[in-house]
């Protein structure tokens, strides 16, 4: 749960909730690259995302099925609440 305690990380999860893999460079966030890297590392360590490297690019995907198996309904609840409160709206895709 601590991985989802930061609005920026919730925003990243909201963007990835569509199930598509996204390149890190396609994430538009109001922080520097090193801070984005830290937030992605926290999400990965919590088991929420999977990262894949291809050459010099990194791609990230939400592990929805794995998370849903461990914590049924939690991700859906967090995403609904985030949408209602507009938490993480500053994160978009290019």
Q: Which residues pair with 22 in a beta bridge?
A: 60
Q: Looking at residue 4, what DSSP letter applies?
A: G
Provide the pLDDT for residue 77: 93
pTM of the prediction? 0.91
pLDDT at 14 over 90: yes
Condensed to tens digits (0 to 9), the pLDDT of residues 15-32 reads 999 999 999 999 999 999
Q: Residue 59: what are its φ and ψ, rounded to 5°?
A: -120, 145
Task: Indicate whether 1 pLDDT > 90.
Answer: no
Instruction: Reply yes or no on whether the pLDDT at 94 is more than 90.
Output: no
Q: Hey, what domains does the chain have and what are their CATH numbers?
A: 2-84 (1.10.10.10)
């Amino acid at each position: 749960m601590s991985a989802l305690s930061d609005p920026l990380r919730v925003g990243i999860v909201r963007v990835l909730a569509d199930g598509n893999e996204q390149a890190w460079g396609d994430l538009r966030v109001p922080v520097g690259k090193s801070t984005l890297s830290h937030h992605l590392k926290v999400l990965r360590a919590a088991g929420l995302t999977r990262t894949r490297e291809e050459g010099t690019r990194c791609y990230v995907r939400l592990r929805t099925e794995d998370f849903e198996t461990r914590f049924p309904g939690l991700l859906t609840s967090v995403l609904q609440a985030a949408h209602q409160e507009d938490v993480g709206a500053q994160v978009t895709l290019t």
